[in-house]
Amino acid sequence: MSADTQDPAASPPAEAVVLVGGQGMRLRPLTLSAPKPMLPTAGVPFLSHLLSRIRAAGIEHVVLGTSYKAEVFAAHFGDGSDLGLRLEYVVEPEPLDTAGAIRNVSDRLSADDVLVFNGDILSGVDLTKLLETHRSAAADVTLHLVKVDEPRWFGCVPTAADGRVTAFLEKTDNPPVDQINAGCYVFRREVIDTIPAGRPVSVERETFPGLLASGARVQGYIDTSYWLDMGTPAAFIRGSADLVLGAAPTNALPGERGEALVLDGASVAADAEVCGGSAIGRGSVVKSGARVVESVLFDGVRVEGNAVVERCVIGANATIGAGAVLRDAIIGDGASVGADCELLNGVRVWPGVELPERGVRFSAD
């Protein structure tokens, strides 16, 4: 039995809530057509990887808190039976922040313990041990805390020797600890009902500090597992590559781990180079002499001969012209990049845009 696999008979069942309501503004134009958790990531929607790990941990009932393009989730996953899950969907009438979104789905929950996930975090946390820590500490809430090299970029969460959370600190140039809130929690069911209903509520600024002030047991589960916030283009590309390469955990990869994932119906020329954890979508074509390195190609992409695509995301049915050079670029669905164009350093091309051929150079610098 793997570390993420729980014997359902060993302990009372838990339920899960996944918050997937954000608009993914930092990933535009990719999120103009699909919510961030539904973007193809290592061959499947990003949410598939998280749901696969939730199921492997023995959890069967999952509630998705949706908002932006809410209908897309149910259209793809249905009732969850294909994944061995029972999925329910609850739409936020307005943005409610993290705690408000959790409270918004409370009427669908019945288990004593509820795991809550931010739907844009790629993590290797051992969910079984997280739940065991919560129960053994008799905690009201348990937070996954991950150690990072640069805690200055995050609020940090100090803990006592027994793992009890002592404070929630804002970003600072001199953080006292290197552990941060990793966006995964276990709530005791009764605590969810104390969150104010019908208005935005922040877990970091209101719910967790309020629990500390009231003397509630807020526990930290601290580890150094894989962790990545997938909110930026660079992080999205890195996360997809890590899933393909095997650096990040999943039970949903539609193929073998390796230097590249080439999905069914895709075609890669024998002398083309596809590596670095690249994912090549269904029906895509990579022509002779082309190089695709650490990139994500959605379905139906065409990369013409001798083009170079490095650390890029190429939207569905887009075309990259012969000899074009793309580095750290985002190309929207159906866009066309002309032959010998150069797109560098964060350039983004909106869906359907056609860039002219022959030597046009764009850089976000």
Q: What is the pLDDT of residue 109?
A: 93
**Dihedrals phi, psi of 284, to nearest 5 degrees:** -80, 160
* Number of domains making up the chain: 2
Residue 149 belongs to a domain: yes
Beta-bridge mates of residue 88: 63
Are 189 and 46 part of one and the same domain? yes
Q: What is the pLDDT of residue 6?
A: 47
Residue 7 belongs to a domain: no
Residue 250 belongs to a domain: no
Residue 1 belongs to a domain: no
Residue 135 belongs to a domain: yes
Are 282 and 207 part of one and the same domain? no
DSSP state of 239: H
What range does the domain containing 343 cover?
Answer: 259-363
Residue 242 belongs to a domain: no
Gap between the Cα atoms of 292 and 272, Å rounded? 8
Contact assessment for residue 184 and residue 144, using Cβ atoms and an 8 Å cutoff: yes
Residue 312 belongs to a domain: yes
Are 58 and 166 part of one and the same domain? yes
Gap between the Cα atoms of 273 and 291, Å rounded? 5
Are 25 and 81 part of one and the same domain? yes
Residue 344 belongs to a domain: yes
Gap between the Cα atoms of 53 and 59, Å rounded? 9
Supply the CATH number for residue 135's domain.
Answer: 3.90.550.10
- Last residue of some domain: 233, 268, 300? 233
Q: What is the pLDDT of residue 9?
A: 40
- Sign of CA pseudo-dihedral 190, 196, 198, 200: negative
Q: DSSP string spanning 280-335?
A: E-TT-EE-TT-EEES-EE-TT-EE-TT-EEES-EE-TT-EE-TT-EEES-EE-TT-
Structure tokens at 187: 């709530």
pLDDT along the chain (365 residues), means of 10: 45 85 85 90 94 94 91 93 94 89 93 93 93 95 90 84 88 82 93 93 90 94 91 94 94 91 95 96 97 97 97 96 95 94 93 83 71
